[in-house]
């Protein structure tokens, strides 16, 4: 089957009205909204590296979109569309049907269109998605705005996906296979959060990116981090490894002043948020458990390990 037949059969759909030209030409054409900035991100997933090789095609399609929408959410942007670059070892129609359905299920849930991309043959299954979103001029939330005295907060639960990866078949595997990008929350945070990042490589490592960019330190309250009941049954060191270094949560970690947190708490949010620490003047990341400093050495996901 030719490349364009695959595209027509599995990936061609009617685009949004503000997409002047979608799939079927050399490039897509979008009409930008007035007074908005374009926010762009890209992620690549490799079979056996970013997901187990026996992961369902539907889950791979969903996750390929979700991890990119999570990056947009971390900037406070409203997702708009994606581009897909798909490298396939073989043409497997059952797999393509499941993958495209998972991809479009995620797109549909978050109001996103597939507007272009590329397909080719490769020795290894590789999926690269570029996501585009919009945000009001000057309102993008970066990693560099954390201030001393800010709260450190997270959405949802942390450590679920890492636990699910090590316990395939457990209910928490769904959090690994079907992460939920916090798109609405990200947009609600754009006017109140001082810095933000999505948790993809482990809470400690990703929070560390905020600390470095903002030139501040932090104290993390280990006993305040929201975790699933399955992790609470584990040895504390093992649970902390999943929570701090596991990654693949795709929850939002953000800093916010106490005053703005009060404003946020009066809004209706679609996911729980929890204060898990505070920004400090002293650089570095300290861990506190039950009121006492607890030394830990953790490393997040390494892409070239």
CA–CA gap between residue 19 and residue 29 (Å, rounded): 6
Residue range 150-294 forms a domain whose CATH class is: alpha beta
Binding positions are 26, 43, 50, 71, 117-118, 143, 198, 200-201, 248, 301
CA–CA gap between residue 205 and residue 183 (Å, rounded): 22
pTM: 0.91
167 confidence band (pLDDT: 50, 70, 90): very high
Binding positions for substrate are 50, 248, 301
Q: Is CATH 3.30.1330.10 correct for 3-136?
A: yes
What 8-state DSSP symbol labels residue 126?
Answer: E
pLDDT digit string, tens, across residues 265-286? 999 999 999 999 999 998 889 9
The pLDDT of residue 75 is above 50: yes
Binding positions for Mg(2+) are 26, 43, 71, 118, 198, 201
Query: Exposed, middle or buried, 230 (CB in 10 Å: 0-12/13-18/19+)?
Result: middle
Do 243 and 276 meet the contact criterion of CB atoms below 8 Å apart? no
- Domain ranges in the chain? 3-136, 150-294
Main-chain dihedrals φ then ψ at residue 210, nearest 5 degrees:
-65, -45
**How high is the pLDDT of residue 297?**
66
Q: Judge if 3-136 and 150-294 fold alike in CATH terms.
A: no
Binding positions for ATP are 117-118, 143, 200
């Amino acid at each position: 089957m030719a490349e364009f037949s695959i595209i027509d059969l599995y990936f061609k759909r009617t685009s949004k009205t503000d997409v002047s030209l979608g799939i079927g030409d050399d490039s897509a054409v979008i009409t930008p909204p007035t007074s908005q900035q374009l926010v762009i991100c890209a992620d690549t997933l490799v079979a056996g590296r970013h997901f187990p090789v026996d992961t369902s095609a539907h889950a791979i399609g969903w996750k390929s979109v979700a991890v990119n929408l999570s990056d947009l959410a971390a900037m406070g942007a409203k997702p708009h569309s994606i581009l897909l670059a798909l490298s396939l070892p073989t043409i497997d129609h059952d797999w393509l049907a499941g993958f495209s359905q998972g991809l479009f299920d995620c797109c549909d849930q978050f109001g996103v269109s597939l507007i272009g991309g590329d397909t080719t043959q490769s020795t290894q299954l590789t999926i690269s998605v570029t996501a585009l979103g919009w945000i009001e001029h000057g309102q993008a939330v970066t990693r560099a705005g954390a201030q001393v005295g800010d709260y450190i907060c997270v959405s949802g639960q942390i450590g679920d996906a890492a636990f699910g990866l090590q316990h395939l078949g457990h209910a928490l595997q769904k959090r690994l296979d079907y992460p939920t990008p916090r798109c609405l929350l990200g947009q609600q945070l754009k006017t109140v959060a001082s810095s933000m990042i999505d948790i993809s490589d482990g809470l400690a490592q990703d929070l560390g990116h905020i600390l470095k960019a903002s030139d501040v330190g932090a104290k993390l309250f280990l006993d305040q981090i929201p975790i699933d009941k399955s992790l609470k049954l584990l040895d504390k060191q093992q649970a902390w490894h999943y929570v701090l270094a596991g990654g693949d949560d795709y929850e939002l970690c953000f800093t916010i002043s106490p005053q703005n947190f009060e404003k946020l708490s009066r809004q209706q949010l679609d996911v729980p948020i929890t204060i898990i620490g505070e920004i400090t003047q002293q650089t570095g990341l300290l861990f506190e458990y039950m009121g006492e400093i607890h030394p830990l050495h953790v490393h997040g996901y390494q892409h070239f390990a």
